[in-house]
């Protein structure tokens, strides 16, 4: 297989690039390095390109043809919810503009498979705890909206390719809370998710803050589904193989563990892994935080034969190790 990985120098993309390379697939990375780090993909061909730029479609076509690419995994996107509320149109230009160029370039070449990074943010604030793929998607911020529109665009591209008699399949993966590091040098350097935020606060000698401990959950704090980035990376490989086998009865899959962990449980796991006592501060609830959001993973288990291997302690330990915060000795 010859795979173009957009955003391959990013946190999740670089894990997939590493797995693809390890199993002998040819990999071409396209990344504008806006948040990516080039050393994560040292030794591999990389095209430095803003996918939303005016010349991106033509440059993608040239790169795809030069490297005989047959599949694309599309990670490249802006991903900060708060920033997307402040600058929604920039999010549409980057995430929708970038995907438009990827899809038009795929249509002009012999690309037959695409995997798209979608998100649990497409669901918004569901009033059920266990979220299945058939639930109505009602994203509550521009970031989640760009992901849902991206899914629709891909569905339309599949239909259009079918009408034209062209072989083109796509899988949309809705990630839940991605964390940990498969290799320390590929760790998440953005301090935006719970585990990196807590580690950052501890390293700075500050107490982590829990936003709301009066939710209707067992310990009062929000419950989320944390999935190890290496497990998530494996799900992309499974999705590619699923499409190559010709099976595409479903095209959208949750990626999570199917088990929730509360904010307090995550902080306890960090205390255990770092060997430090952590006394969190209590803060007010944040707007738009549902009490519990856990992935129903039955579909991905049944059709892609994928399931998460790492539990919360292993996820946290890998993140703590990558941050150089394991206890000495
Ligand atoms: N990290 C998460 O928890 C999470 C959860 C759900 C979905 N996602 C999605 O997964 C994907 C990857 O996320 P990540 O955590 O690895 O983020 P990241 O910021 O580490 O990676 C994104 C990569 O895309 C590149 N990029 C961004 N815009 C680009 C553009 N216009 N042209 C070319 N390259 C561009 C960046 O330089 C970076 O290397 C994103 O689409 C994100 O929305 C992430």
Beta carbons of 87 and 93 less than 8 angstroms apart: no
The residue annotated as part of the active site, out of 11, 91, 123, 143, is 143
Please name the CATH architecture into which domain 181-225+257-322 falls: Alpha-Beta Complex (3.90)
pLDDT at 303: 97
pLDDT at 191: 81
Instruction: Return the domain boundaries, the chain.
Output: 2-177+227-255, 181-225+257-322
| Same topology between domain 2-177+227-255 and domain 181-225+257-322 | no
pLDDT at 75: 98
Q: Which residues, including other chains, have CB under 8 Å from residue 62's CB and lie 6 or more apart?
A: none
Which pTM does this prediction carry? 0.98
Please state the atom number of ligand 1 nearest to the C-alpha of residue 147.
Answer: 43
215 belongs to the catalytic site: no
Nearest 5°: the CA angle 6, 42, 307 is 55
Distance between CA 282 and CA 243 in Å, rounded? 46
Q: Quick one: how many helices (H) and strands (E) in the chain?
A: 11, 15
pLDDT at 288: 83
pLDDT at 125: 93
The 3-class secondary structure across 318-329, one letter per residue, is HHHHHCCCCCCC
Domain 2-177+227-255: top CATH class: alpha beta
- How many angstroms separate the Cα of 192 from the Cα of each of 43, 92, 160, 195, 212? 29, 21, 37, 9, 18
Please state the atom number of ligand 1 nearest to the C-alpha of residue 50.
Answer: 32
> What is the phi-psi region of residue 82: left when phi exceeds 0, alpha when psi lies from -120 to 50, beta otherwise?
alpha
Which tens digits make up the pLDDT trace of 201-226?
999 999 999 999 999 999 999 999 99
Virtual torsion, Cα 51, 52, 58, 61, nearest 10 deg: 30
Widest CA span in the chain: 63
Q: Which residues, given as ranges, of the chain have pLDDT below 50? A: none
Q: Which residues, including other chains, have CB under 8 Å from residue 230's CB and lie 6 or more apart?
A: 15, 19, 180, 182, 310
Mutate to test the pocket of ligand 1, among 77, 87, 131, 190 (most ligand atoms within 8 A of CB): 77
């Amino acid at each position: 297989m010859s795979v173009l990985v957009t955003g391959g120098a990013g946190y999740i993309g670089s894990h997939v690039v590493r797995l693809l390379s390890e199993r002998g697939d040819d990999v071409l990375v396209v990344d504008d390095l806006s948040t990516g780090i080039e050393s994560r993909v040292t030794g591999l061909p990389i095209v430095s390109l803003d996918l939303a730029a005016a010349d991106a479609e033509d440059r993608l076509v040239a790169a795809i043809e030069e490297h005989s690419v047959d599949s694309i995994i599309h990670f490249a996107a802006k991903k900060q919810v708060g920033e997307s509320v402040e600058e929604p149109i920039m999010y549409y230009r980057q995430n929708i503009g970038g995907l438009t160029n990827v899809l038009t370039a795929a249509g002009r070449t012999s690309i037959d498979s695409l995997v798209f990074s979608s998100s649990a943010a497409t669901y918004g604030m569901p009033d059920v705890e266990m979220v299945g793929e058939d639930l109505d998607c009602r994203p509550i911020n521009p970031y989640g909206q760009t992901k849902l529109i991206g899914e629709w665009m891909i569905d339309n591209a599949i239909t259009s390719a079918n009408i034209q008699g062209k072989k083109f399949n796509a899988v949309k993966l809705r990630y839940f809370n991605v964390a940990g590091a498969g290799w320390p040098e590929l760790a998440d350097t953005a301090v935006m998710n719970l585990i990196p935020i807590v580690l950052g606060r501890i390293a700075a000698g500050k107490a982590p803050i829990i936003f709301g401990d009066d939710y209707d959950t067992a310990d009062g704090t929000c419950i989320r589904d944390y999935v190890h980035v290496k497990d998530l990376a494996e799900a992309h490989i499974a999705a590619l193989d699923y499409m190559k086998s010709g099976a595409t009865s479903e095209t959208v899959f949750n990626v999570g563990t199917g088990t929730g962990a509360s904010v307090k449980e995550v902080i306890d796991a960090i205390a255990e892994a770092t060997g430090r006592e952590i006394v969190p501060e209590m803060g007010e609830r944040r707007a738009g935080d549902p009490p519990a959001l856990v992935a129903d993973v039955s579909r991905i288990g049944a059709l892609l034969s994928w399931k998460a291997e790492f539990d919360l302690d292993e996820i946290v330990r890998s993140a703590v190790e990558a941050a150089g915060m394991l206890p000495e000795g």
